[in-house]
Structure 1
């Protein structure tokens, strides 16, 4: 149904109002005292009283030493609510809240203890006085974190939660080292405690006869026909959106379940335990409902009553190793899964038979369950490796550490630290422009054996281009700022008024301001601490202010650097459509310069210019130089791409492409790359080009880039009747193929930082003509650029000189240049 515009607008307004009300409620409760005697538990986003949080909760309510604690469960599922009420209705210290409700936001804001086996929402930021235990939900077979395809984006909220946690629970050393420290890149930056004392939920597998009978009775009450037979638990994992949607998954489950039951034989009943995402769909299918375990029964309790287990890639098989009972693996999509998601161990090394056919998997398990059968040959070694601490006392030990403060004699340790210097770099909006290219090249040039590097990025819809993000080196940890800042509208109004006045508060200046930014640091980057922090963008006060609060995570003093990519005073006054759009935002940034230790310009000439023009904002000795790094490999690869690959599929073929394809070698192509904004002065370039073409009809012009002046420049070309000789290509992700196909690079800017495009043009071997501005001198070796005055006629004369053969190709000793720039960067980092 298509909604009318007024209805859509009303719904949008209602949604925004609700968000505003919710934000005010969160802000109110975050201003209330933390309740040190209140524990909040959440498992699988509220799917029930489950997993490690359930085991810890049951221990605490039964332990007299913790009788002072009140317990609140987060529940989203109606069936889980009913089960909870049946067991705990009337308990004086136990209650629940609905996930997403006002009561949930209140409880999350004020509870002194937080226990979660997954993640809290993006708005959550741990407060001072809160203790956060993240237990996670299993030892992984599947690749996790940054090891996954597109893992940086997929793991954004998980990494944020881990960095906020005071304690992370690992069932075994493999989970601590491979998942937490390696896959989620917690080595060096996580200052909390990793606990390796086994998994509380595995304690729940130890059932006496009465408890086992109760579980079987609950299964039968839900419609599962056991008929007094032993059970085999079938627990397939959720493949995720890369493979199937839940409905497709359920269709396959029905067929697999029937075949598996046939293979196991009639003397045992196969009980289906689905992933949380699939359960609701499976419950609506009669052929599955007769075998489906209720979602409210903890998985480990089901494992405790199962004679055998059939699973695929689910982490619960690691838990089941503690029982000593057999496991069979049913992996019909092993090749697809391994190539799409991937696993840490090859499937043929698993501690049980592996089959692609469900009936065969069932028969294999039946054979292992036969009297006198030998265990699988790999079972014992896996149990020793992955369940070394499962003696039934894991819960008590975890409670001792977290709630009792115990350390001596317990396996509780800080995360690994390999001694590398920790760098945090805010990359900016990651738009396809020169600043982004410079940032990516800098990250690629760093010695990652010497430096532990974190990139901070925004995470908004369409904020980060996937192709651009893919160029971030694999060694770099990526942290995303997701969600929005906490705090009341009144507080943020004060902040915005300060920014509007170009006078933001400085760190430590006022208590409300300090609390706001320290809370935002905790929400985004948790307890992580860095030795050197850089705002590589330098154009907006939000991140400039945030980075100055890097000490909120604790640790040694941090050096702060901010990049100055241009003549910043001129940038502040730059006019677009009659407005100086950056006057206030850059004014706010300027007022924070004094708080930064290093103000880094991208050329020596620019450093001297900024030192003079910004003298009122920062001391002279804080101005430094680090020139831009070229990415020679990236440019070289781009030069080799066919021009056709630059075109968008299913889009009309642009005029510039037809013109270049029709060129038989008798045309001469001028090219420029840059944002279509006033400081680039493309209008002058077009005027100068038209003068040149009047005498040289073979001349053509390509302007590569996007920006606010696109329509204006397009109209200028049309008014001159030059549409068949001067072309605007729009922004291109990789313009180097066009550079390589052109004859001369021309730059018409009023001012620049150190134009990356000049380095790239030199790598492409192009002659270069440029107008005169401060940083063009020294951008390349002397004589590499034909530099002309800031006048139309002078630029036209320079272009004509190229056509006359008087402008040779630019040269650049890339190795020497990179070594010199690396020395500048090293001096900055080691200062």
Structure 2
């Protein structure tokens, strides 16, 4: 990278970025300041709920007077926070602007940190810091891995639970679902604290506060007098900021409010507490009987002043009904919501009336039903009551038990195995890992799949298809490092920096990032399954466990042809990891170019889920929304049916040899114009070039080019011959897949495919265009039989090889 380009990047960075980068210096150099407590509610967006009532207890109870208290706040909310603190006389709290220099300093210095959600991904828990996570409600909606819309991005919440000294649960129901669905069992080393939520104390001893708020509402003409009937409406936000569904939701909510406002009487007022995005999009001044929650008071104080709660899928009803107050569920979109999100409990199983229109809702409010809530309260609110905040703080800050129940997180005693899977792109590496997990006995060890954060269809498919007892860990955020260290990493990738100098940098930053990404119980085995992603290769080389890095391809050729790997990182890893696992014996010699420890190289062949692959071949040919093809599905079927069809599958990349395959096919086509060629690939740098070559080919009408297809097996099954035209490969799993689908297979005679096809008597041809022509002609003449391979026996041997890596 040119220096000028680097300087342009630096100029784009703002003050917040530099504050954020400074955190790493603060982490390394600043000492923990004793008796300091940092409170963070929803990453500085709110000051309510559990965090607010813990703050009150901290500042009003003399037991905790020695503690300095800091409250994290977003810049645009400072005025609102300060007003709330003034209303309650909480003058000793110090507001800490999020993303300021002081914020990052205190994140590195505070002795005690309390959150109701999660700290940002940059944060690393230091030795001497203690964390309490109160969370923010008994879950009704599916959480963690069961949240169909957000299951890929649970990583930051998951790691926050794992680094907590205490996680607060108000009931066993919450404990069970949160620990299971965020997959923290067998990893978490903190304690589970069973106690009532601090925010719920207001329902049990605050008649004075209730009267104060009703007086305020009367004096400010929100209600005619204190005897007015107050309803609190607290709906769940459903949409995503900035998309069409948000606008649709706002329009629907507005229509329901119009209808409710028309039906309510003058002695009835509905106080509404919306998600901030909705609140800013709906003008409540247009209504007569509908008003916003007063910002001058904390949310639960206002809720306590109301006569009934109206909600939908929000966990607030567990709190309100637990205190014996009436609850009404307004689920105008129940069917749609269940389809998109899902819930642990059916609304029909809850002891509350459910309405689907504003008319039904108002009618329910006018004709209240008082169900027996004793069993409900026993199940979900038996721990609520006065004094929860004090008891929790006594335990967390002073080490006094106060009679609270606390337990260790469950651990089954099995060894923990981490498999790093890269970005889970739709390629052979991901298919290989999927096959491995499908045939392994995943009950012998605790397996955890880790992958780069973000959303993609391929990640969604892979994670959704994991075996039930395999957990996963998405990796949020970026590694902490100083600006010079960041620049050094860039220069090292370009080979401008000496390896020994860079080793010192990685020796410093890697252990810190590993602590950030994987808090909790250490893994016994760490396996970098892809072997790519040089930063993670460097990090895992420094993880204190039994370490394995996989080699799926000819490393030298990957470096020279594709620049897909960093040569000095490869050499360091191959001589540092405990095992270097090659997937075929043919890769031993190329691997020895970088690995100077022959004894560290282990043969671990890829497994193959042949039953699933065969089943996929029976599916109809279908394209995805993202598929690009020179032919429609119907045109492709017609092409395949019109003559003998050669097929290859592999990314559009130089090493796959697609160009010479097209040239070889043209020579076959000259003698038999009924033959076809189908090339299916994922993304790659040569896609457009391959399309252009097809366009210039005299045989273009018989050539189909397809990019990005979720299930290529259906096309593979209906083809006649499989050709691997690569210049270099690992094993080439697609050879096995083609064999499973019943096709004759051939490959250029290169390391990787050579060992497999030699073992089973397959066709190997010269590594040239002429060799491809010769093999394709033999196929057309029926001289290449389908290989007879016992995949049960093959997999059994491959599993033994893999599990041998897990013997320390």
Q: What is the TM-score normalised by the length of structure 1?
A: 0.87
Alignment partner, residue 531 of structure 1: 524
Alignment partner, residue 377 of structure 2: 383
Alignment partner of 1:668 is 2:659: no
Return the match for 1:490 from 472, 484, 489: 484
1:117-156 correspondence runs (5 A) = 117-156=116-155
SS at match of 2:575: helix
Alignment partner, residue 414 of structure 1: 408
Return the match for 1:575 from 555, 561, 567: 561
1:586-605 correspondence runs (5 A) = 586-605=567-586
Q: Please say if residues 59 and 90 of structure 2, whose CA atoms lie closer than 8 Å, have aligned partners that are also in contact.
A: no
Alignment partner, residue 7 of structure 1: none
Q: What is the TM-score normalised by the length of structure 2?
A: 0.89
For 2:627 and 2:669, how far apart are their aligned partners in 1?
33
Alignment partner, residue 350 of structure 1: 350
Q: 1:655 to 1:307 in 2, by over 3 A?
A: closer
Alignment partner, residue 203 of structure 2: 205
Q: Please say if residues 200 and 385 of structure 2, whose CA atoms lie closer than 8 Å, have aligned partners that are also in contact.
A: no
For 1:11 and 1:611, how far apart are their aligned partners in 2?
39
Cα RMSD of the aligned pairs, angstroms, is: 3.4
How far apart are residue 116 of structure 1 and its match? 1.4
How far apart are residue 763 of structure 1 and its match? 0.8
Q: Please say if residues 644 and 676 of structure 2, whose CA atoms lie closer than 8 Å, have aligned partners that are also in contact.
A: yes
Q: Please say if residues 664 and 772 of structure 2, whose CA atoms lie closer than 8 Å, have aligned partners that are also in contact.
A: yes
Q: Please say if residues 73 and 96 of structure 1, whose CA atoms lie closer than 8 Å, have aligned partners that are also in contact.
A: yes
Q: Please say if residues 627 and 706 of structure 2, whose CA atoms lie closer than 8 Å, have aligned partners that are also in contact.
A: no
Q: Please say if residues 269 and 290 of structure 2, whose CA atoms lie closer than 8 Å, have aligned partners that are also in contact.
A: no
SS at match of 1:74: strand
1:53-93 C-alpha deviation (Å, 9 max, x unpaired): 111111112233322221122233255234245347893x4
Which shifted more, 715-724 or 229-238?
715-724
For 2:90 and 2:402, how far apart are their aligned partners in 1?
38
Alignment partner, residue 686 of structure 2: 709
SS at match of 1:113: strand
Alignment partner, residue 188 of structure 2: 190
Q: Please say if residues 682 and 713 of structure 1, whose CA atoms lie closer than 8 Å, have aligned partners that are also in contact.
A: yes
Q: Please say if residues 457 and 479 of structure 1, whose CA atoms lie closer than 8 Å, have aligned partners that are also in contact.
A: yes
How far apart are residue 414 of structure 1 and its match? 2.0
1:194-235 C-alpha deviation (Å, 9 max, x unpaired): 211121111133344432222223434665215111544333
Alignment partner, residue 161 of structure 1: 160
Alignment partner, residue 22 of structure 1: 19
For 1:127 and 1:162, how far apart are their aligned partners in 2?
15
Q: Please say if residues 254 and 287 of structure 1, whose CA atoms lie closer than 8 Å, have aligned partners that are also in contact.
A: no
Alignment partner, residue 601 of structure 2: 623
Return the match for 2:32 from 31, 34, 52: 34
How far apart are residue 47 of structure 1 and its match? 3.8
Which shifted more, 493-502 or 674-683?
493-502
Q: 1:282 to 1:803 in 2, by over 3 A?
A: closer
1:343-389 C-alpha deviation (Å, 9 max, x unpaired): 111211212222324444444455447xxxxx413x11010011111
1:421-440 correspondence runs (5 A) = 421-440=415-434
1:443-481 C-alpha deviation (Å, 9 max, x unpaired): 333333333322211125769654455444454433222
Q: Please say if residues 224 and 291 of structure 1, whose CA atoms lie closer than 8 Å, have aligned partners that are also in contact.
A: yes
SS at match of 2:21: helix
Return the match for 1:562 from 541, 546, 549: 549
Alignment partner of 1:69 is 2:30: no
Q: Please say if residues 481 and 509 of structure 2, whose CA atoms lie closer than 8 Å, have aligned partners that are also in contact.
A: yes
Q: Please say if residues 629 and 706 of structure 2, whose CA atoms lie closer than 8 Å, have aligned partners that are also in contact.
A: no
SS at match of 1:538: coil
For 1:47 and 1:792, how far apart are their aligned partners in 2?
63
1:453-511 C-alpha deviation (Å, 9 max, x unpaired): 2221112576965445544445443322232222211122334444544865699x75x
Q: 1:252 to 1:703 in 2, by over 3 A?
A: closer
Q: 1:328 to 1:563 in 2, by over 3 A?
A: same
Alignment partner, residue 768 of structure 1: 745
1:721-759 C-alpha deviation (Å, 9 max, x unpaired): 332344433343322122122111111223321111011
Alignment partner, residue 329 of structure 1: 329
Which shifted more, 302-311 or 265-274?
265-274
For 1:713 and 1:292, how far apart are their aligned partners in 2?
60
Q: 1:409 to 1:19 in 2, by over 3 A?
A: closer
